[in-house]
Amino acid sequence: MNRFIVLLLLLVLLPPVAVADQSASLLRFAPLQGQLDFVQLKTVQGLPVPLRSSGYLQISADKLLWHTTAPVDTKLLISPAGVSQWQQQQYVAVAGSEFIGQLLLAVLQQQQDFILAHFQLATGPNNCLLLQPVQPPLNQLFSQIELCGQQTLEQLTLTELNGNHTDISLQPQAGKP
Amino acid sequence: MRRNLTLILWLAAVALMLVYVLLQLPQRHWNSSITAAMPGTTTPWQNQLMQQNSSSRHLSLLLTGQPLPQLRQAATLLQQQTLPGLSWYQPGVLMQQLQQQYQQHQALLASPAALAQLQSGQYQQLVDAAWQRLLSPAPLLAEALQHDPLLLTQQFIEQQTPVSSMQPRQSWFESTEPAAILLHASLSIDPFDRTDAGKLAAALEHQLQQLQQNAPELQLARSGVLFHAVNAADNASFEMQFYGGLSLMAILLLLGVSFYSIKPLLLASVVLGCATLSGLTALLIWVPQPHVLALVFATTLIGIAIDYSFHGMLAANKGQRYFNAMLPSLALGLLTTLLGYLTLTLLPFALLNQVAIFMCAGLTAAFISVWLLFPYWLAPQSLHNNASLLHCCEKISGRYNNTSALKVWSGALLLAVLVCLLLLNQARFVDDVRLFNQSPAGLLAQEQQVRSMGSQQWDSRFIVVLADNAEQVLQQEQQLLPLLKHWQQQGWLKSWQALSQQLPPVQLQDHLQQQLQLAYQSETVQQYLSQLQLAVPAPRAERLQPDNFNSVLLQQLFSLQQHSASVILLSGVNIPDNERVQLNSMAQIHWLDPIADTNQVLVQLRSQLGHWLLLALAVTLVILLWRRGIKAACAITLMLLIAVGGALLLSQLLQQQLNIFNLVAALLVLALALDYGVFFTARLSSADVYQAVLLSAVTSCLAFGLLSFSQTPAVASFGFTVFCGVALAALLAPLLTVVSVKESDKHGTL
């Protein structure tokens, strides 16, 4: 009888644990650190051609420098507190950008807690990882985030609800980890 | 026969009043706002504005003490249980709504900096900023490039200052370090309405207690007028019942000890019942929403009305002739007390007006009851005085009578001069309305905790912009911006919140459209547009206006009878007076400081009351000269000076300051002490007067002395001063028999 109860309890308790473990196992990318080159293709409604920009990212433990060098030189500082734009020799915070800052840092650094708390995980075409936001405000901004790559994250696609989407290709800089 | 008819009419009137009170009481709403009880501003538009202002209809709850997931669960549970009259703010939803409205009106809103760049033709900077935003991975508004290629509205939204330092989530604000959730709610009920606010606060408290029972480590901090108002109302209600009940019990005990009979208890109860009923009826007829504090003050009716019963009982017990001889003195006593209270009805002070109405009606009813009922219901010699009490009174009377008149005169004169000099030297009046009511320390600490976690701390001072319509109000607000910015740069102002920050005037939207069309024709912007392969957007025809705009900031816009008005909320205010004067030069812009304004009115009222006190003394002296002769008049006036001055001096020594309630109390002391003076200079039996005055003084001291323990400083000040004054008057009044000439038969009636 006791064995039966233990078995029953195991049956009841195991599935959620198993699902959580299963989701976590999908997060296979190694966290990114240091400097990486990027190429961004931004498809915006109303624009006949996607906007192409390139530059480099400087990733540290709690912040990320997003330096676009072409077609224009612009800098963004991204942290859990939000996104700040480099304007007139200083970083100016963008109001309401906290979640974007947290999202970008979490995806690039593969922060398991944040990703599991805010997204439903699935495997998509080309063995890419699909993140579907499950709660506001992320699900009011993005319909899906796609992460692709082998061992490390190489391609990132942010699909917005309004039809815009941003493809970001990442590549470690030559000679740098 | 005529007397019988009067008695029947009086009893019928009492029955009618009882029916009226029973019908009215369940429907009436009682006010508990200390500011509503205080003198208000006099300008009609200010009164309208303050009535419409809903700033008190908000509350906040801070949840801490647990990890964030558990706090979220608790917050969700709380929001799932709906409470009538309370709706939780959904910051995420509100922000989304605002963003959607801006999205539909892109290119109509721009930051002041962007507008300045447009006006000065600095198009390259605008293009650079647009490129920077365009290349950022952060999402853009839908159809941003078609309507607003320079992304001015997108950047306007992103430059809006967050309302709180905590991060907005869908249904609350959240902080990770330390883990905390801040919930905001709005109330559809008046937090100062005793009935509605009490019900809502009790239901909310029940939910909060359930949450804490489930999670004992959960810490809750409350903020909002509702909690303070309900606490003040509960406190007032408790004090009214507790002090009123205690006074009543003590009085009944005194009666029992004095007469060893149930009959005086019944008679006194009838008098007190009629008095209370009349007071309540008058209050309900004259005041639509009476104040709970008025009832706390009104418990003193018991202490005064019972005096009439004592005098009536002792006189009626001696026979009709003695009763008739006593009546003029009782009527004179009533007249002086009524005069004291009637002066309060002339003051622009709601609370004192209500107290005066209650007391005047109550005391008149007490007098009529004694006059009509006692000779019928109390047969001569039917009561047997407590022998030891009578003996004691005779002994005291003897002691007092043994004092020489010269000693009394010189002593009283010296004491009066000393008291007056000390009072003039020591008295320090503080006219600060905030000192009259004090919330419990625990509630104040919770309020502070909520505010320290990021809830906005708007100052009680604010700016009001008046104009003919809403558009003009928004234009005026825009004109005020440079001055506000200057004050902010100087560190005199931390921040402000104005509707025009979210909703620019149509005039400005038109101007932006014109400037944008000019910019689109410039070479720099043309080049930018061609790089993006975008066509020049057509000018927008629609405008964003209060009618098609939805935001919580619209609560700062008011429609008054002849004007539209907007309130600009301020925080961290430390603006020098000479800087603030600049506002005076701007037409229709007003600096409002309700606390300072009320304090200013209090200063004027206090000065007015001071003059009335002196006038009352002078009038008393004249009446006494007419009724009692020069010696008695001078003696009573000296006694009044010592009683009133001494009471104020003792209050100053205890409180280290005086306030308007001490002065109101002084006016009452004058009326009460005068009663004692009238009786001690009347042609009545010395021992009976001693007994009646002794019992009166003890009951008055009990009623007012108990009030000095009130949690409400205003009530405590009032109670202590009256207690001291009555005690002093009761001690000094018997000396009047030594120095005054008794009332002659000729002048024995009023």
Separation of alpha carbons B387 and B383, rounded Å? 12
Average pLDDT value over all residues in chain A: 81
Confidence at A15, pLDDT banded by 50, 70, 90: very low
Query: Considering the domain boundaries, does residue B639 fall inside one?
Result: yes
Chain B interface mutation, best of A85, A107, A116, A134, highest count of B Cβ atoms under 10 Å: A85
Mean pLDDT of chain B: 85
Residue A13 pLDDT > 90: no
- Minimal Cα–Cα distance from A159 to chain B, Å? 9
- Nearest Cβ partner of A160 from B134, B139, B169? B139
Do the domain assignments include residue B376? yes
Task: Give the gap in angstroms from C-alpha A3 to the nearest C-alpha of chain B.
Answer: 32
A147 touches chain B (CB under 8 A): no
B144 contacts in chain A (CB < 8 Å): 44, 46
Candidates B135, B154, B161, B170, partner chain A, best to mutate (most A CBs within 10 A): B135
Q: Does B160 touch chain A (CB under 8 A)?
A: yes
For chain B, residues with pLDDT lower than 50 are 163, 741-750
The residue in chain B having the minimum alpha-carbon distance to the alpha carbon of residue A88 is: B125
Note the pLDDT of residue B319. Answer: 87
Tell me the per-residue pLDDT of A40-89, one tens digit each, with 9 for 90 and over. 999 998 888 899 999 999 998 888 999 999 888 889 999 888 888 888 78
Q: What pLDDT digit, counting tens, does each position of A109-118 carry?
A: 888 888 888 8
For residue B692, being part of any structural domain is answered with yes
Phi and psi at residue B33, to the nearest 5°: -80, 125
d(CA B72, CA B78): 10
Tokens linked to B204: 């909310």
Q: How many domains does chain B have?
A: 1
At residue B61, the pLDDT reads: 92
Closest to B343 (Cα-Cα) out of B85, B620, B84, B97: B620
Give the rounded percent of residues in chain A with a pLDDT score beyond 70: 84
Residue of A72, A158, A164 with shortest CB distance to B131: A72
Token pair 């539909």: residue: B104
pLDDT reported for residue A6: 45
What is the reported pLDDT for B746? Answer: 36
Retrieve residue A74's tokens: 């612009």
The answer to whether the CB atoms of A95 and B162 lie below 8 A apart is yes
pLDDT at B337: 80
| Domain-embedded: residue B73 | no
Per CB-CB distance under 8 Å, the chain B contacts of A86 are 132
> What ipTM score was computed for the predicted complex, to two decimals?
0.83
pLDDT of A95: 76
For the cut 70, the answer to whether the pLDDT of residue A4 exceeds it is no
The answer, yes or no, to whether residue A10 has pLDDT greater than 60, is no
Domain of B431?
A: 229-436+597-739
* B-chain residues near A157 (CB < 8 A): none
Please answer yes or no on whether B135 and A168 come within 8 Å at the CB atom: no
Sole residue written with tokens 């300051």: B657
**SS (HEC) of A75-139:** EEEEECCEEEEEECCEEEECCCCHHHHHHHHHHHCCCHHHHHHHEEEEECHHHCEEEEECCCCHH
Residue contact A71–B139, C-beta within 8 A:
no
Q: Do A44 and B140 touch (CB under 8 A)?
A: yes
Q: How far apart are CA A130 and CA A137, in angstroms?
A: 18
Instruction: Give the closest of A44, A85, A100 to B132, CB-based.
Output: A85
Inform me whether the pLDDT recorded for A11 exceeds 60: no
The amino acid that residue B313 corresponds to is M
A129 contact B CB<8A: no
Tally Cβ neighbours within 10 Å of residue A50: 14
B320 within some domain = yes
Helices B470-489, B506-520: axis angle to 10 degrees equals 80
Task: Considering only CA atoms, give the Rg of chain A.
Answer: 19
Distance between CA atoms of residues B80 and B83, nearest Å = 9
Q: Which of B70, B94, B117, B158 should be substituted to probe chain A, the one whose Cβ sees the most A Cβ atoms within 10 Å?
A: B158
Pairwise CB contact (< 8 Å): B134 & A42 = yes
Tokens representing residue B459 in the block = 């100052």
